[in-house]
Amino acid sequence: MKMSDNRKLKLSFHGKIIDHLGIQMYQSPIASIAELISNAWDADATEVNIQLPTDMSIDPKIIIQDNGIGMTFDECQNKYLNVGYNKREASGKSSTDNGRPLMGRKGIGKFAGFGIAKNIKIETVSKETGERTVFNLDLETIRKGDTYVNTDPLEMDVEEYNEPDPNRVNEHGMIITLSNLTFDRAPSIEVFKRGISRRFTFNSRKDDFIIKINGIEVEQDYDSANIEFSFPRDYTLEEKPENIRIEEGFAVENISDSHQIRWEINFYKDTIQEQGVQGIAVYAHKKLAQSPFMFNLTGGLPSQTGPEYMSGIVIANFVDELPEDVISPERQRLNWSHRDLKLLEQWGQEKIKELLKLWKKRRQEEREKLIEEKIEGFGSRLGRFPPHEREVIKKALKKLAELPKLDETQFIDMGEAILTSWEGGRLKALIEKMAGVRDMTEKQLLNILLEANVLTALHTAEAVKTKLDAIHGLRERIEKRELENAVRDYIAKNPWLISPKWETFIVERSLNHIMRQALQISEIENLDDWRGRVDLILSSGESLLVLEFMRPGLKIDRDHLSRFEDYINSIRASLESQTGLHFKSEQVYGYLIADRIDDTNPALRKRIEQDEKEKMYTLEWGTLLSQAESQWKEFLDVLIDRSPEDERLQTFKTK
Ligand SMILES: Nc1ncnc2c1ncn2[C@@H]1O[C@H](COP(=O)(O)OP(=O)(O)OP(=O)(O)O)[C@@H](O)[C@H]1O
Ligand SMILES: [Mg+2]
């Protein structure tokens, strides 16, 4: 290798190109590098390695290296630096030696690098001669003076030059180094990979062309897991247009005698969030020629929301083979006023309309299926209604399921509320109304549901009121000293009488032997005072509620209390020592209930207070029932307060 200061290269512009050149044109790193990848493709490279900077702090560079045919010194001059040079015209061919369709046409793509860098270094070894040439394109230098405006060529230094050498031939290719970068945030490799893959339709294996970014291969990324419908694949026999043929998933069709296209259009399950992906993109010669769009359709779509789910590609090579160049340099937009493109535009508009119609139909069917499935969940409960009632509720549930804003759990909650109310005979009129409304608006349904809420509250309020009445009745009987087994049985069935929080408890019979043991240990069995007492164990989950009702008329004393403590504690001890029982000893609640407590004994009071800390409560009947009563009243008041406007509920207000 030797420095060559005598060799010169010249940069000359064909005047018309200066307008095209627009450095502004390729401001995104992805667009810029896509141009350099295109050049590697055109040079029959099989691999392009792109090195992106991960740290922007010290002189970051982007390096693009390919193993293509490279350039001889003459080619550097006559092809690379010959701005506006049309390789297709010059060679009379539209494909490379290896038969690849040529991507380049304008002769300006190399300047894409100036969109993101002020300096482009070219290092190339020719496959033909083994010549090696290194030179720099510097934006400032090129811009300086007005040499390029008149057609005087700009003389440029050649940094390094090596004579032809058959031994160097195997190093053929090109290394482009972009430096003095004009962006200052390190690009995300992921975003970059995706962006590059969207600009091309390469198939790395079939096309024998691999692109690597920082060592990772770029693959055609299809978010196939999230595709709901894909056309042409999901056409039914009747839907499938006659003039298409399906080849490797693509529809192949002729839009005129000479113009063939291939396409695939997908609809995703959810709206496409990513920018620039909604719509249909057009590719030519494996390269993006028109970014995703709606084929210039304005309004009149069969579905307003459908386009947000749609993403597709059309491969229309003919647009890159027309005598006129209809592809804009940055490859975002085709020149749709061209007469041959009008045909494609028309086709695209028809296709979009056709597919949106199909999508809408499918979506509806899908939704209906889903709704059926949702309602299925209520199957057994629905089954208990007579057939005509079942139909009415089903219709109402369907109305509910059709609301797009209602999520799964909300649907189930509301559906359950409807069924419960219906079972309680409360909601009949309401649901019938709901089921009968054709095309109910969301607001209408919401009003109905609000009404349902009030009705449910009304229903509950009535139930609470009944409970309060029952407590009142129980109090009367107790006051008359009528505590007998019948009362105990009644409490066993209605433990809410003691407190709303015991509402879910049921009689627990599996612990009989433990109870018996506890009775022996506490010596309750043999004592006179305890004769005629009533005991009861209720359970819910891991909790136990142990109730001891003393004989009517009896006054609780210290001895009673001791034995009650022993009784509860020995139950707890048994639970701890026996495995296989799912009750927790710390969730055993003891209640000792009597007509009266000996209130002359302050020490006894103190002890009762202490016992409460250990979840053993000694109460007089009167206190217990007033507690229950006030808790239920509180509950009722909360219920009523939630629907302050509803007069029906307000009548339940307690004094
Ligand atoms: N990586 C490369 N390997 C070999 N030759 C290259 C490479 N890059 C560019 N060239 C040569 O330089 C010429 C100019 O490239 P440039 O990208 O400016 O124009 P183009 O590819 O012909 O057309 P377009 O502007 O449409 O891309 C190419 O035609 C090719 O001969
Ligand atoms: Mg090019």
Residue 140 phi/psi, 5° resolution?
Answer: -60, -45
Q: Which tokens sit at 259?
A: 């113009």
Which residue's CA lies nearest to atom 1 of ligand 1? Answer: 40
CA of 403 to the centre of ligand 1 (A): 57
For residues 568 and 592, the answer to whether their CB atoms sit within 8 Å is no
Cα(388)–Cα(526) distance, integer angstroms: 62
Which residue's CA lies nearest to atom 7 of ligand 1? Answer: 39
Q: Which tokens sit at 14?
A: 């064909």
CA dihedral 23, 28, 29, 32 (to 10 degrees): -50
Cα(509)–Cα(598) distance, integer angstroms: 32
Ligand nearest to the CA of 64: 1
pLDDT higher than 50, residue 15? no
CA of 566 to the centre of ligand 2 (A): 95
CA of 15 to the centre of ligand 2 (A): 19
pTM for this entry? 0.63
Which residue's CA lies nearest to atom 4 of ligand 1? Answer: 70
CA of 103 to the centre of ligand 2 (A): 7
Cα(141)–Cα(84) distance, integer angstroms: 20
Which residue's CA lies nearest to atom 29 of ligand 1? Answer: 87
198, burial (CB in 10 Å: exposed 0-12, middle 13-18, buried 19+)? buried
pLDDT higher than 50, residue 14? no
Does any ligand 1 atom lie closer than 6 A to the CB of residue 109? yes
Q: Hey, which of 21-35, 185-199, 502-516 has the most confident mean pLDDT?
A: 185-199
Domains (range + CATH), the chain: 2-217 (3.30.565.10), 224-353 (3.30.230), 377-440 (no CATH), 465-638 (no CATH)
Cα(21)–Cα(167) distance, integer angstroms: 38
Predicted confidence band of residue 419 (pLDDT cuts 50, 70, 90)? confident
Does any ligand 1 atom lie closer than 6 A to the CB of residue 331? no
Q: Can you give the pLDDT at residue 119? A: 93
Predicted confidence band of residue 467 (pLDDT cuts 50, 70, 90)? confident
Which is nearest to 497 in space by CA: 544, 537, 505?
505
Instruction: Calculate the average pLDDT of the chain.
Output: 85
Does any ligand 1 atom lie closer than 6 A to the CB of residue 82? no
How many other C-beta atoms can be found within 10 angstroms of the C-beta atom of residue 284?
A: 24
Residue 189 Cα to chain centre, angstroms: 23
Q: What is the pLDDT of residues 198-242, one digit of tens each?
A: 999 998 888 999 999 999 999 876 677 889 999 999 999 999 999
Q: Can you give the pLDDT at residue 511? A: 84
Please identify every residue whose CB atom is under 5 Å from ligand 2, which is an ion: 38-39, 104, 109
Q: Which residue has the tokens 């307690």?
A: 654
Predicted confidence band of residue 150 (pLDDT cuts 50, 70, 90)? low
Name the residue of 33, 36, 110 to mutate for ligand 1: max ligand atoms within 8 A of Cβ.
Answer: 110
Which residue's CA lies nearest to atom 8 of ligand 1? Answer: 39
Q: Can you give the pLDDT at residue 337? A: 94
CA of 487 to the centre of ligand 2 (A): 96
CA of 339 to the centre of ligand 2 (A): 26
Which H/E stretch holds residue 119?
strand 117-125
Contacts with 338 (C-beta within 8 Å, 6 or more apart), sequence order: 322, 324, 326
Cα(276)–Cα(212) distance, integer angstroms: 23
Predicted confidence band of residue 395 (pLDDT cuts 50, 70, 90)? confident
Q: Can you give the pLDDT at residue 404? A: 63
For residues 287 and 211, the answer to whether their CB atoms sit within 8 Å is no
> Strands, E, within 305-348: which ranges?
310-315
Q: Which tokens sit at 601?
A: 């004994």
Dihedral sign, CA of 210, 109, 178, 195? negative
How many other C-beta atoms can be found within 10 angstroms of the C-beta atom of residue 374?
A: 17
Could you tell me if residue 321 is left (phi over 0), alpha (psi between -120 and 50 degrees) or otherwise beta?
alpha
Q: What is the pLDDT of residues 572-631, one digit of tens each?
A: 999 888 877 788 888 999 999 888 888 788 899 999 999 999 999 998 888 888 888 888
Write the DSSP string, 140-209: HHHHSTTTTTSSPPEEEEEEEEE---GGGGGG-EEEEEEEEES--SPPPHHHHHHHHHHHB---TTTTT-
pLDDT higher than 90, residue 250? yes
Predicted confidence band of residue 17 (pLDDT cuts 50, 70, 90)? very low
How many other C-beta atoms can be found within 10 angstroms of the C-beta atom of residue 614?
A: 15
Which is nearest to 359 in space by CA: 226, 223, 230, 225?
230
Does any ligand 1 atom lie closer than 6 A to the CB of residue 108? yes
Q: Which tokens sit at 593?
A: 């209930």
- The residue type found at 164 is P
Cα(9)–Cα(81) distance, integer angstroms: 8
Q: Which residues, listed in sequence order, are joined to residue 134 by a DSSP beta bridge? A: 123, 160
Q: What is the pLDDT of residues 305-316, one digit of tens each?
A: 889 999 999 999
Cα(262)–Cα(280) distance, integer angstroms: 12
Q: Can you give the pLDDT at residue 645? A: 72
Q: What is the pLDDT of residues 77-90, one digit of tens each?
A: 999 988 878 888 88
Q: What is the mean pLDDT of residues 434-454?
A: 73
DSSP class of residue 653 equals -
pLDDT higher than 70, residue 16? no
Q: What is the pLDDT of residues 169-178, one digit of tens each?
A: 999 999 999 9
- Residue 163, classed as helix, strand or coil, is coil
Does any ligand 1 atom lie closer than 6 A to the CB of residue 632? no
CA of 158 to the centre of ligand 2 (A): 22
Which H/E stretch holds residue 449?
helix 442-479
CA of 41 to the centre of ligand 2 (A): 9
Predicted confidence band of residue 319 (pLDDT cuts 50, 70, 90)? very high
Which residue's CA lies nearest to atom 19 of ligand 1? Answer: 107
Residue 240 Cα to chain centre, angstroms: 32
364: number of CA atoms within 13 Å, CB side?
A: 7
What's the full length of the chain, in residues?
Answer: 655
Share of the chain above pLDDT 90, in %: 40
Does any ligand 1 atom lie closer than 6 A to the CB of residue 112? no
